[in-house]
Amino acid sequence: MGRMIGSSSISFDKPPFIIEGASIVGRKEGDGPLGKLFDVVEHFGPRYSWTAQVEKLTQIKMLNYGVCGDCCDDIIYRMRQYALPEYVHHVIFLGGANDILQGRRIEDISRDYKRVLEWCEEKQYSLCVVLPFISTEQALNRQLLNLRQEAEHICGGKAFLLDLQPAIGMDAGARFKAYVDGIHPKSQTYEAMGSYAAPLIWKWLKNEKEA
Confidence at residue 41, expressed as pLDDT on a 0 to 100 scale: 61
DSSP states of 116-166: HHHHHHHHT-EEEEEPPPP-S-HHHHHHHHHHHHHHHHHHBTTBEEE--HH
What value does the mean pLDDT take over residues 156-179?
A: 95
Closest to 115 measured CA to CA, from 153, 154, 144: 154
What value does the mean pLDDT take over residues 161-183?
A: 93
Rounded to the nearest integer, the mean pLDDT of the chain is: 87
Model confidence at 30: pLDDT above 80? no
What are the start-end ranges of the E strands in the chain?
2-5, 9-12, 24-25, 40-41, 90-94, 126-130, 160-162
Confidence at residue 35, expressed as pLDDT on a 0 to 100 scale: 67
Confidence at residue 27, expressed as pLDDT on a 0 to 100 scale: 63
Q: Distance (Å, rounded) from C-alpha 129 to C-alpha 107?
A: 17
Model confidence at 148: pLDDT above 80? yes
Confidence at residue 19, expressed as pLDDT on a 0 to 100 scale: 79
pLDDT (tens digit, 9 = 90+) per residue, 11-29?
878 877 787 776 666 666 6
Q: Distance (Å, rounded) from C-alpha 195 to C-alpha 116?
A: 26
Choice between 48 and 110, residue whose per-residue pLDDT is larger = 110
Confidence at residue 120, expressed as pLDDT on a 0 to 100 scale: 95
What value does the mean pLDDT take over residues 116-127?
A: 95
* C-alpha distances out from residue 54 to 13, 16, 17, Å: 49, 43, 43
Choice between 65 and 211, residue whose per-residue pLDDT is larger = 65
Given a contact cutoff of 8 angstroms between Cβ atoms, the answer to whether 167 and 193 are in contact is yes
What value does the mean pLDDT take over residues 148-152?
A: 97
What value does the mean pLDDT take over residues 185-203?
A: 94
**Which residues contact residue 2 at a Cβ distance below 8 angstroms, ignoring those fewer than 6 apart?**
10, 11, 12, 13
pLDDT band (50, 70, 90) for residue 7: low
Beta bridge partners of 94: 130
- Calculate what percentage of the chain has a pLDDT beyond 70: 87
Q: Distance (Å, rounded) from C-alpha 31 to C-alpha 109?
A: 38
Model confidence at 99: pLDDT above 60? yes
Confidence at residue 9, expressed as pLDDT on a 0 to 100 scale: 77
The amino acid at 112: D
Pairing of strands 40-41, 2-5: unpaired
Confidence at residue 204, expressed as pLDDT on a 0 to 100 scale: 96
pLDDT (tens digit, 9 = 90+) per residue, 38-83?
666 655 555 678 999 999 999 999 888 877 788 999 999 988 888 8
Model confidence at 118: pLDDT above 80? yes
